[in-house]
Amino acid sequence: MSKKPWLEKLAYFIEPHLSAREVKAFLLANFTRLSEKANSTGGSEFEICRLRHLLGALGWIKADEALHPDHLYTALDLTEAQDWVARLPDGHCLRGGVLVPGIGKFLDRLDEQGLAAERVDEEAERLLKHIETRRQKSITRFTEEMSARENLKERIDVSIFLSRYARRHSDLRFINTAFKLNEWLVREYRAIKKAGLEAAFLLALAEQESSAQEWMA
Amino acid sequence: MIRVVLLAPIDNSLYARLVAFQLRQEREVQLAGIVVRSTLNLKRALNEYRRDGARLLRKFVEKGVRGDKRFAGSAGENLAQLAERRELPFRSLRKLAAEYNIPYQVVSDHNNKRSRAFLETIDPDLVVFTGGGLIKPEVLSIPRIGILNCHTGILPKFRGMDVVEWTAAEGLVNEIGFGVTLHLMDQGVDTGAIIKRERIEFENLRGFEPIRENLEVRMVNLMVEGVRAFVNHTATPRLQKKEEGRQYFVMHPRIREYAKLMLLKQSKAH
């Protein structure tokens, strides 16, 4: 038990974190709203279907249908991911705090197929360190010019990769970092909604909770 | 005679004071200098905030403001008790340095020009690091033997931050255990050659704070033993392999709660 609860409260005030209950409430409230919105432009069919599937698997909503095979894996072409790795400058997707666009989605695609395992593991470790040392300033500088929307998408994709990587490799450190990254992103939720990335971000949270549940249920 | 310089994070660091005081009593050891990082330092505060987040506030209040009083109410073995047993008379490193005529320098960063110049002038055989940020290669290369650091975890397995909690979260309390590792610093995070490790018995320690306080006491002893080993030429540094361990980072509160449960579970099983 903390000897100084007032200190913990002050620290929480400066840097609030989301409890499991708060994440669940946030996810459900926004998923419900997104689902009810007619002609929702908040995300792709893949994102919404996978989100529904994960929330069902978590036991948070009733979702009887199994996930369609097309929605099991990301829709990225595997060749595209392999080409991306082959084109990496110096063989790294992150150097001096500057990232190559697509880092989250491509590393995830390769990892889910078990391809370029050693390379993916090495880059995942570097990405982890990058986020943990640069914190809110992480995943903001890229080798190409990027719009605000694209930047948000990159950060969301990285978050999804971290959660899935944690699950696939039983590495709690990656969930630890996903928690932090998603908390920073939640503060930008208005911008995320405006950019039409709502489903993507809710999916990132659902992936986080799916991984968390494996350890902390 | 081995010449040693001590690097400290703040002037009233109890850990640093105890190490300095102990080293002064060692034969064949000359405490040739003390370098302290300035506390009221905006750049330092920003850098540490970037690394630790809001936890920095707790660290500042506990170590910076409360100092030795932070152990009041603590039941287990801790640095304040050790200070009492050893009859440590100094409330600050500045006072200790003044009493023993030890060159004393305050710097904003252990890696800056002033710090390097001070170290180069003294030309130590060994530096003992008691905190104050990462050390860069330009400083690592100054002492003849190297820079000793005591890590509050068992290396090589658990490198980085919050390793007491991570040991529990990873379910390795019984397999790896809690302890301290004395090692030479290199450019990596807790990757330098291991000099000595010491595990602690934790069954009677309820929670991470008592464990950490117990480890801090071991750190003082291990640091002094390490210096002694170099004096006696009995130190046998063992190189670490990168793949033998992982780097851990500041633990999120949700994982910390999980780590607490895991500690309880593993303590019962012990």
Q: Which amino acid is at A125?
A: E
Better-predicted residue by pLDDT, B243 or A44: B243
Average pLDDT for residues A57-66, to the nearest whole number? 78
Contact A181, A158 (CB under 8 A): yes
B209-232 pLDDT, tens digit per residue, is 999 999 999 999 999 999 999 999
Chain A residues in contact with B62 (beta carbon < 8 A): 4
Provide, as residue numbers in chain B, all residues whose Cβ is less than 8 Å from the Cβ of A124.
none
Q: What is the mean pLDDT of residues B34-56?
A: 77
Q: Does residue A8 sit at the B interface (CB-CB below 8 Å)? A: yes
- The tally of CA atoms less than 13 A away on the side-chain side of residue B145 is 25
Phi/psi-derived region of residue B123, left when phi > 0, alpha when psi is between -120 and 50, beta in every other case: left
Give the nearest chain A residue to B158 (CA atoms). A173
Residue A1 has pLDDT above 50, yes or no: no
Whether A34 and A42 have beta carbons less than 8 Å apart is answered as yes
Q: Where are the alpha helices (DSSP H) in A58-116?
A: 78-86, 103-112
Range picked from A42-46, A96-100, A106-110, B127-131 for highest mean pLDDT: B127-131
Q: A104 vs chain B: nearest CA distance in angstroms?
A: 20
- Confidence label for B203 from pLDDT (cuts 50, 70 and 90): confident
Whole-angstrom Cα distance, residue A42 to residue A19?
Answer: 25
Using one digit for the tens of pLDDT, what is the confidence trace for B154-200?
A: 999 999 999 999 999 999 999 999 999 999 999 999 999 999 999 99
Residue A2 pLDDT class (50, 70, 90 cuts): very low
Handedness of CA B212, A177, B130, B158 (dihedral sign): positive
Q: What is the pLDDT of residue B42?
A: 78
* Vertex A165 angle, CA A57 and A91, to 5°: 150
Q: What's the CA gap between B162 and A132, in Å, rounded?
A: 13
Q: Count chain A–chain B contacts defined by CB atoms under 8 A.
A: 58
Least CB-CB distance to B254: which of A11, A128, A179?
A179
Task: Tell me if A216 and B258 make a contact (CB, 8 A cut-off).
Answer: yes
pLDDT of res. B76: 74
Taking an 8 Å cut-off on Cβ atoms, the answer to whether B252 and A17 are in contact is yes
How distant is the Cα of B253 from the closest Cα of chain A, in angstroms? 8
Maximum CA extent, chain B: 54
Looking at residue A16, what is its pLDDT?
76
Contact call for residues A215 and A175 (beta carbons, < 8 A): yes
Asked if A176 lies within 8 A of B255 by C-beta distance, the reply is yes
Strand order across the beta sheet in which B104-107 lies: B104-107, B29-37, B2-8, B126-129, B146-151, B179-184, B194-199
Where does A15-146 show beta strands of DSSP type E? Answer: 94-95, 98-99
Q: What is the pLDDT of residue B86?
A: 93
Structure token pair of residue B250: 């500041």
- Phi and psi torsions of B114, nearest 5°: -65, -45
Residue indicated by tokens 């940020």 = B133
A14-18, B84-88, B162-166: which has the minimum mean pLDDT?
A: A14-18
Nearest chain B Cα to A133, which residue? B51
DSSP string over chain B: -EEEEEEESSTT-HHHHHHHHHHHTSTTEEEEEEEEE-SS-HHHHHHHHHHHTTHHHHHIIIIIIIGGGGGTT--S--HHHHHHHTT---SSHHHHHHHHT--EEEES-TTSHHHHHHHHHH--SEEEE-SSS---HHHHTSSSSEEEEEESS-TTTEEESSHHHHHHHTT-TTTT-SEEEEEE--SSSS-SPEEEEEE---TT--SHHHHHHHHHHHHHHHHHHHHHHHHTT----BPPPGGG-EEE-PPPHHHHHHHHHHHHHHHHH-
A133 in contact with chain B, both atoms CB, cutoff 8 A: yes
Residues pairing with B129 in the sheet = B7, B149
A76-85 average pLDDT score: 82
Please answer yes or no on whether A172 and B255 come within 8 Å at the CB atom: yes
- Distance between alpha carbon A19 and the CA centroid of its chain, in Å? 17
3-state secondary structure of A207: helix
- In tens, the pLDDT along A148-191 reads 999 999 999 999 999 999 999 999 999 999 999 999 999 999 99
d(CA A201, CA A189): 8
Q: Mind listing the pLDDT tens digit for each residue in A82-111?
A: 888 888 878 889 988 999 999 999 999 999
Position A177, amino acid: T
Tokens of A122: 């090495």
Nearest-CB residue to A3 (from B57, B73, B248) = B73
Closest partner CB to A11 (pick from B54, B209, B251): B54
Tell me how far apart the alpha carbons of residues B230 and B233 are, in angstroms, rounded to a whole number: 5
Q: Would the CB atoms of A173 and B73 count as touching at under 8 Å?
A: no
What is the radius of gyration, based on Cα positions, of chain A? Answer: 17
Q: Which residues lie closer than 8 Å to B97 by C-beta, 6 or more apart?
A: B34, B103, B104
- Interface check for B50 against chain A (CB to CB < 8 A): the answer is yes
By C-alpha distance, the chain A residue nearest B73 is A3
Complex ipTM above 0.85? yes
Residue of A nearest to B168 (CA): A172
What distance in Å separates residue B6's CA from the closest CA in chain A? 27
Contact A177 B249 (CB under 8 A): yes
Task: State the smallest CA–CA distance between residue B54 and chain A in angstroms.
Answer: 5
Give the C-alpha separation, B164 to B154, whole Å: 9
- Shortest distance, CA A182 to any CA of chain B (angstroms): 12
Q: Does residue A197 surpass a pLDDT of 50?
A: yes
The verdict on A135 touching B (C-beta cutoff 8 Å) is yes
Res A195: pLDDT = 94
Burial B113-139 (b: 16+ CB within 10 A, else e): eebbebbeebebbbbbbbbbbebeeeb
Instruction: Check residue B44 and give left, alpha or beta (phi > 0: left; psi -120 to 50: alpha).
Output: alpha
User: What local confidence, expressed as pLDDT, does residue A205 receive?
Assistant: 97
CA distances from B116 to B2, B104, B121, B148 (A): 19, 13, 9, 17
